[in-house]
Amino acid sequence: MAGQIIKRAENTWLVRIFTGRDGNGKRLYLNKTIHGTKKDAQQWLTAKLRDNDMGLSIKPASISLNDYLDKWLKEAARPRLREATFNSYELYLKKHIRPKLGSRRLADIKPLELQRVINEMTGDSYAPRTVRYAHTILYSALKQAVRWQMLSMNPCNAVELPRQTRSEMKAFSPAEARTFLEAAKGNKHGLVLAFALSTGMRPEEYLALKWSDVDLIKGTATVQRTLIWRKGGGWYFGEPKTSKSRRTVPLPGNILPELQAHKREQAATMLKLGAAYERNELIFTADGGKPLYYGHLTKRHFYKILEKAKLPRIRLYDLRHSCAMLLLAAGVNPKIVSERLGHSSIMLTLDIYSHVLPDMQREATDKLSTMLYG
């Protein structure tokens, strides 16, 4: 492949690279106007020739970003992503990326344009996590464009992102946890909430538990699947979040009799309703055997229990955090806590709950001092 530099005006150069012939034998060129010195033009030409030698496409992709994203979502994203994740990708691209950059030619998108989009999202008061997630999705899409040789580099690499901030974690103290459990006893779904606090499972995990997953003799519950609700209605069982999420969690002894009683009541309801009862074999269900919807459980039951007990409002997911923090505060080994939560690594557990560790260090020091000095 050959290239040439042609002077067009003062500090203006046309760089021409021969790229082959079309079906009719016509010579094809890649043309680029460089404003600057001849050295600048030579550097651009050298870079393009090097890319060609490395097997990278030097022809700018004529496809628009919108058309490319459609192709990427269909060919690359959908086959490897879970349905809920794929839906979130589509939503973020539709809301944050396509309106501002979708009509632009893929090959013409520059880091400065992407930086402007990031800055506008930050200026519109989107949380850093939201901004960074939008960037992650676009980064993944353009990374694939580089693999497909539609781009020579990923412009997302040069973008500065807002600083990641961690919101204040809310969780029950031991006294608040006991108050919550006492208030939950009178609620229709008090058992599932007590189960959530006792096991530290994710809501999509304990709401997907079947009776076959629980051993009432050994006192264990095994996470095998997750319950996922589709946007617009409907639900399905999905895979656990990670390989470590498939785990067996010991159950507190005092919750086992409640589970046994719940199973008897459920069997009586099934007998009463007959074919009208939806037999999904789930432990925790809405009326008629249907799966419990996360939002309804939160608003219609969880928040009412908090109000009744005069406890601060936290998220339903914070029952999981409460379980972890109570265990760590009690001196349980972080590795055990990590395994109980189904984290991918103990480092993740230590990172999330690092604010609990100083108190644990103090307690450990006090114990060591007693051992050494009496």
- Quote the CA–CA distance of 194 and 47 in Å, as a whole number: 63
Q: H/E element holding 284?
A: none
Evaluate whether 255 touches 263 at the Cβ level (below 8 Å).
no
Residues 71 and 49 in one domain: no
Q: Which are the contacts of 151, defined by CB distance < 8 A and separation ≥ 6? A: 61, 106, 107, 142, 145
Half-sphere exposure of residue 217: CA atoms within 13 angstroms, side-chain side: 1
Residues 91 and 221 in one domain: no
Q: Cα separations (Å) of 316 from 257, 258, 331?
A: 24, 21, 24
Residue 183 lies inside a defined structural domain of this protein: yes
DSSP sequence for 201-267: --HHHHTT-BGGGEETTTTEEE---EEEEPTTS-EEEE--SSGGGS-EEE--GGGHHHHHHHHHHHH
The distance from CA 133 to its chain's CA centroid, rounded to whole angstroms, is 9
Residue 45 lies inside a defined structural domain of this protein: yes
The dihedral over CA atoms of 86, 92, 97, 102, expressed in degrees to the nearest 10, equals 50
Residues 216 and 349 in one domain: yes
- Quote the CA–CA distance of 284 and 207 in Å, as a whole number: 6
Residues 179 and 152 in one domain: no
Residues 216 and 354 in one domain: yes
Residues 222 and 110 in one domain: no
Residue type, 93: L
Residues 238 and 345 in one domain: yes
- Quote the CA–CA distance of 347 and 136 in Å, as a whole number: 22
Residues 342 and 197 in one domain: yes
Residue 180 is part of a domain; what is its CATH number? 1.10.443.10
114: containing domain: 65-158
- Quote the CA–CA distance of 257 and 269 in Å, as a whole number: 19
Residues 353 and 245 in one domain: yes
**Last residue within a domain, chosen from 158, 188, 210:** 158
Evaluate whether 316 touches 196 at the Cβ level (below 8 Å).
yes
The distance from CA 269 to its chain's CA centroid, rounded to whole angstroms, is 38
Q: Cα separations (Å) of 149 from 58, 69, 98, 198, 245?
A: 8, 15, 22, 51, 36
> Nearest-5° angle of CA 155, CA 161, CA 167?
150
Residues 274 and 319 in one domain: yes
What's the structural domain count of the chain? 3
Q: Cα separations (Å) of 218 from 210, 251, 253?
A: 16, 9, 10
- Quote the CA–CA distance of 184 and 311 in Å, as a whole number: 12
Residue 110 is part of a domain; what is its CATH number? 1.10.150.130
Query: pLDDT (tens digit, 0 to 9) for every residue of the chain, 374 residues total?
Result: 578 888 888 889 888 887 777 677 788 777 888 899 988 888 888 887 777 666 555 555 678 999 999 999 999 999 999 888 999 999 999 999 999 999 999 988 999 999 999 999 999 989 999 999 999 999 999 999 988 878 878 999 999 999 887 777 789 999 999 999 999 998 999 999 999 999 999 999 999 999 999 999 999 999 999 999 987 788 999 999 888 999 999 999 999 999 999 999 999 999 999 999 999 999 999 989 999 999 999 999 999 999 999 999 999 999 999 999 999 888 888 899 999 999 989 988 888 887 766 666 677 777 777 878 76
Q: Model-level pTM greater than 0.85? A: no
Q: Which structure tokens are listed for 344?
A: 């991918």
Q: Which are the contacts of 57, defined by CB distance < 8 A and separation ≥ 6? A: 51, 149, 150, 152
SS3 content of the chain, % helix, strand, coil (to 5): 55, 15, 30
Residue 60 lies inside a defined structural domain of this protein: no
Residues 189 and 232 in one domain: yes
Decide: residue 326, CB within 10 A, 0-12 exposed, 13-18 middle, 19+ buried.
Answer: buried
